[in-house]
A and B are shown apart, each in its own frame.
Chain A
Amino acid sequence: MAEVKLTINGKQITAEKGQTILQAAKANNIYIPTLCHFEGIEGRANCRICVVEVEGMRTFQPACVTKVSEGMAVNTETERVRAARKATLELIMAHHAVDCHHCMRIGSSSEQSLDPKFCEMCFWCDCERDGFCELQTLNREYHVDVLPYIQHEHDYETDDSLDSVIRNPNKCIKCRRCVDVCGEVQTVHNLSMANRGRDIMVVPEMGKPMAESACVRCGHCVDVCPVGAIYMKEHKDEVIYMAHSYEDDVVAQLSDDVLPELDKLYKLEPGTIRIGQVVSALHKIGIKNVVSDEHAAFLAAQQAAEVIDKKLGKEPVIITDSSAVMNFVDRYFPEMKGQISKYDSKQDVFGKLAEEFKGEKRLKTVNVTNVKEAGAEAKETGNVDYAINARELYRIFMRTGGAPARKNVCAFDKSWNDGSLPYAQLLKSKAWNLESDPEELAVLVDGKPVKCAVAHNLGQVRKLLEGDYKKYDIVRLMA
Chain B
Amino acid sequence: MKEVRITLRNAGKINPESIEDYIKAGGYEALKKAKTIDRKALIDDIEGASKLRGRGGAGFKTGLKWSGAYGVDSDVKYVVCNADEGEPGTFKDRTIIENDPHTLIEGMLICAYCIQAKECFIYVRGEYTHCIELLRKAAADAEDKGFTDGVKVNVVGGAGSYVCGEETTLLTSLEGYRGEPRLKPPFPTVAGYLGKPTVVNNVETFATVPVIVDKGSDWFGSIGAPEYPGTKLFSLSGDVKNKGVVELPTDATLRDLVEGFGGGVREGHKIKAIQMGGGSCGFITEKELDTPLDFESMRAIGASLGSGAVLVLDETHNMAEFVKGTSHFFAHESCGKCSPCREGTSRLEEAVEDILNGGDLNKNVALINKLNDVMSMSCFCPLGQGACTPVVSALKLFPEDFKAKKEA
Name A residues whose Cβ lies closer than 8 Å to a Cβ of B: 44-49, 51, 59-60, 65, 67, 80, 83-84, 87-88, 91-92, 94-95, 148-150, 173-174, 193, 195-200
CB–CB A92/B339 < 8 A: yes
B350 / chain A contacts, CB cutoff of 8 Å: 149-150
Q: Identify which of B121-129, B195-203, B235-243, B378-386 touches chain A.
A: B378-386
* Contact of A173 with B377 at beta-carbon distance under 8 Å, contacts A59-B385, A197-B334 already known: no
Q: Beta-carbon contacts of B159-195 to A below 8 Å, as 1s and 0s? A: 0010000000000000000110001010000000000
CB–CB B336/A195 < 8 A: yes
CB–CB A65/B183 < 8 A: yes
Within 8 A of A (CB), among B275-331: 331
A80 CA / B370 CA spacing, docked (Å): 11
Name B residues whose Cβ lies closer than 8 Å to a Cβ of A: 161, 178-179, 183, 185, 331-340, 342-347, 350, 367, 370-371, 373-374, 376-380, 385
B374 / chain A contacts, CB cutoff of 8 Å: 83-84, 87-88, 91
Contact of A197 among B178, B335, B370, B376 (CB under 8 A): B335
Instruction: Supply 15 further A-B pairs (C-beta < 8 A) apart from A196-B161, A196-B179, A197-B346.
Output: A45-B380, A48-B339, A59-B377, A67-B185, A84-B374, A87-B340, A91-B374, A94-B347, A149-B350, A150-B350, A193-B336, A196-B335, A197-B331, A197-B335, A197-B336
A173 CA / B336 CA spacing, docked (Å): 11
- Most A CB contacts (10 A, CB to CB) among B161, B179, B183 go to B183
- Most B CB contacts (10 A, CB to CB) among A51, A65, A67 go to A51
Contact of A91 among B179, B344, B376 (CB under 8 A): B344
A197 CA / B328 CA spacing, docked (Å): 12
CB–CB A88/B339 < 8 A: yes
B385 / chain A contacts, CB cutoff of 8 Å: 59
B371 / chain A contacts, CB cutoff of 8 Å: 87
A67 / chain B contacts, CB cutoff of 8 Å: 185
* Contact of A88 with B378 at beta-carbon distance under 8 Å, contacts A193-B178, A197-B333 already known: yes
A232 CA / B148 CA spacing, docked (Å): 58
B340 / chain A contacts, CB cutoff of 8 Å: 48, 84, 87-88, 91
**Closest beta carbon of chain B to A235's beta carbon, Å:** 33
B346 / chain A contacts, CB cutoff of 8 Å: 197-198
* Contact of A198 with B380 at beta-carbon distance under 8 Å, contacts A87-B371, A174-B336, A193-B178 already known: no
Query: Nearest B residue to A57 by beta-carbon distance?
Result: B377
CB–CB B331/A174 < 8 A: no
18 contacts between A and B (CB under 8 A): A46-B338, A46-B380, A47-B339, A48-B338, A48-B378, A48-B380, A49-B339, A59-B378, A80-B377, A88-B340, A91-B347, A94-B343, A148-B370, A174-B336, A196-B178, A197-B332, A198-B336, A200-B335
**Closest beta carbon of chain A to B267's beta carbon, Å:** 42
B370 / chain A contacts, CB cutoff of 8 Å: 87, 148
B185 / chain A contacts, CB cutoff of 8 Å: 67
Q: How many A-B residue pairs have CB under 8 A?
A: 96
- Most B CB contacts (10 A, CB to CB) among A45, A47, A60, A84 go to A84
A200 / chain B contacts, CB cutoff of 8 Å: 335-337, 342
**Closest beta carbon of chain B to A249's beta carbon, Å:** 50
Contact of B337 among A46, A65, A91, A173 (CB under 8 A): A46
**Closest beta carbon of chain A to B181's beta carbon, Å:** 10
**Closest beta carbon of chain A to B392's beta carbon, Å:** 15
CB–CB A197/B342 < 8 A: yes
CB–CB B376/A59 < 8 A: yes
A196 CA / B330 CA spacing, docked (Å): 12
A197 / chain B contacts, CB cutoff of 8 Å: 331-336, 342, 345-346
B377 / chain A contacts, CB cutoff of 8 Å: 51, 59-60, 80, 84
In order of increasing CB-CB distance, the 8 nearest A-B pairs are A200-B336, A91-B343, A87-B374, A197-B334, A48-B378, A84-B374, A60-B377, A196-B336
A174 CA / B385 CA spacing, docked (Å): 19
A87 CA / B388 CA spacing, docked (Å): 15
CB–CB B331/A198 < 8 A: yes
A198 CA / B331 CA spacing, docked (Å): 8
Query: Nearest A residue to B337 by beta-carbon distance?
Result: A46
CB–CB B373/A84 < 8 A: yes
CB–CB A51/B367 < 8 A: no
A235 CA / B340 CA spacing, docked (Å): 37
CB–CB A198/B338 < 8 A: no
A44 CA / B180 CA spacing, docked (Å): 11
CB–CB B367/A60 < 8 A: no
B178 / chain A contacts, CB cutoff of 8 Å: 193, 196
A51 CA / B376 CA spacing, docked (Å): 12
CB–CB B335/A47 < 8 A: no
A148 CA / B183 CA spacing, docked (Å): 31
A365 CA / B338 CA spacing, docked (Å): 44
**Closest beta carbon of chain A to B327's beta carbon, Å:** 13
B336 / chain A contacts, CB cutoff of 8 Å: 174, 193, 195-200
Query: Nearest A residue to B384 by beta-carbon distance?
Result: A48
A44 / chain B contacts, CB cutoff of 8 Å: 337
Query: Nearest B residue to A65 by beta-carbon distance?
Result: B183
B342 / chain A contacts, CB cutoff of 8 Å: 174, 197-198, 200
B161 / chain A contacts, CB cutoff of 8 Å: 196
**Closest beta carbon of chain B to A343's beta carbon, Å:** 40
B338 / chain A contacts, CB cutoff of 8 Å: 45-48
A51 / chain B contacts, CB cutoff of 8 Å: 377-378
Query: Nearest A residue to B179 by beta-carbon distance?
Result: A196
B333 / chain A contacts, CB cutoff of 8 Å: 197
Contact of B367 among A65, A148, A198 (CB under 8 A): A148
**Closest beta carbon of chain B to A273's beta carbon, Å:** 35
A196 CA / B177 CA spacing, docked (Å): 13
- Most B CB contacts (10 A, CB to CB) among A46, A48, A80 go to A48
- Most B CB contacts (10 A, CB to CB) among A67, A87, A92, A195 go to A87
**Closest beta carbon of chain A to B283's beta carbon, Å:** 21
* Contact of A84 with B339 at beta-carbon distance under 8 Å, contacts A65-B183, A148-B370 already known: no
B334 / chain A contacts, CB cutoff of 8 Å: 196-198
- Most A CB contacts (10 A, CB to CB) among B161, B333, B380 go to B380
Query: Nearest A residue to B371 by beta-carbon distance?
Result: A87
A48 CA / B339 CA spacing, docked (Å): 7
A195 CA / B371 CA spacing, docked (Å): 23
Query: Nearest B residue to A92 by beta-carbon distance?
Result: B339
CB–CB A174/B345 < 8 A: no
**Closest beta carbon of chain A to B374's beta carbon, Å:** 4
A60 / chain B contacts, CB cutoff of 8 Å: 377-378
Query: Nearest A residue to B379 by beta-carbon distance?
Result: A48
- Most A CB contacts (10 A, CB to CB) among B331, B347, B371 go to B347
**Closest beta carbon of chain B to A156's beta carbon, Å:** 15
**Closest beta carbon of chain A to B162's beta carbon, Å:** 11
Contact of B339 among A59, A83, A174, A195 (CB under 8 A): A174
* Contact of A173 with B331 at beta-carbon distance under 8 Å, contacts A83-B373, A148-B367, A198-B346 already known: no
A456 CA / B343 CA spacing, docked (Å): 37
A83 CA / B370 CA spacing, docked (Å): 9
Query: Nearest B residue to A193 by beta-carbon distance?
Result: B178
A49 / chain B contacts, CB cutoff of 8 Å: 339
**Closest beta carbon of chain A to B64's beta carbon, Å:** 19
**Closest beta carbon of chain B to A56's beta carbon, Å:** 14
A91 CA / B337 CA spacing, docked (Å): 14
B379 / chain A contacts, CB cutoff of 8 Å: 48, 59
Query: Nearest A residue to B374 by beta-carbon distance?
Result: A87
- Most A CB contacts (10 A, CB to CB) among B161, B343, B344, B374 go to B343
A88 / chain B contacts, CB cutoff of 8 Å: 339-340, 374, 378
